[in-house]
Amino acid sequence: MTGEPVAADLAHALAAVVDEVRRVTVQVRTQAATVGAGVLWGRGLVITNAHVIRGDRAHVTLSDGETARARIVAHDPRRDLAALEFEPWRDRPLAAVRTSPPLRAGELVLAIGHPGGLVNAATLGIIHGAESGLERRPARWIRADVRLAPGFSGGPLADATGRLIGINAMMQGGLALAIPAAVVTAWLRRAHALVEA
């Protein structure tokens, strides 16, 4: 009987984290009617996968249902990343990016996406492999035992506290692959420098 309150507390805590991550998750639609997910990364800035973006225009639908036209400001098929800007911007929650501690195998993670017409579906799993601390560069992928379906691409992979650890990209060998947040941050820095050059 002592386990029941603990399980109930865990369920409530996870539900609260899912709600928090949903608030920073958007739907991304393009001319080709593809639907993917994206993450509110900065003021008026959405990060998603490059393979979600088809054509030169996109629309984002925010968690409150508001829809806005988005401009593609960076698109990198090799890294499978794209950045979109939209207006008007109002104060909205932004993704809290986890910078430490390093990920460990077995950590609880969750993903949010929009599969098959569902909006803000959530799935739960664990980190399959921890990033190696031997190299100075971040790992190319985070591998997690999380089931992703079409519509989760470009959405958040978050830890159990709701901090963003990666951008979901695809399934491979039964595991979800996500682009680490550190890779996204470095890519954005380079993309911003190229735009301003």
Give the integer Cα–Cα distance in Å for 130 and 101. Answer: 11
Instruction: Give the pairing type, strands 121-129 and 81-86.
Output: unpaired
Which residues partner with 72 through β-bridges?
84
Cα 186 to Cα 37, 38, 55, 87: the distances in Å are 21, 18, 25, 24
The pair of structure tokens assigned to 67 is 């829809």
State the catalytic residue, choosing from 63, 114, 153, 159. Answer: 153
- The answer to whether residue 51 is catalytic is yes
- The answer to whether residue 128 is catalytic is no
- At 185 the three-state DSSP class reads helix
Give the integer Cα–Cα distance in Å for 195 and 154. Answer: 22
State the catalytic residue, choosing from 63, 80, 114, 159. Answer: 80
State the catalytic residue, choosing from 9, 12, 19, 51. Answer: 51
Q: How far is CA 50 from the centre of its chain?
A: 13
- The answer to whether residue 19 is catalytic is no
Catalytic machinery residues:
51, 80, 153
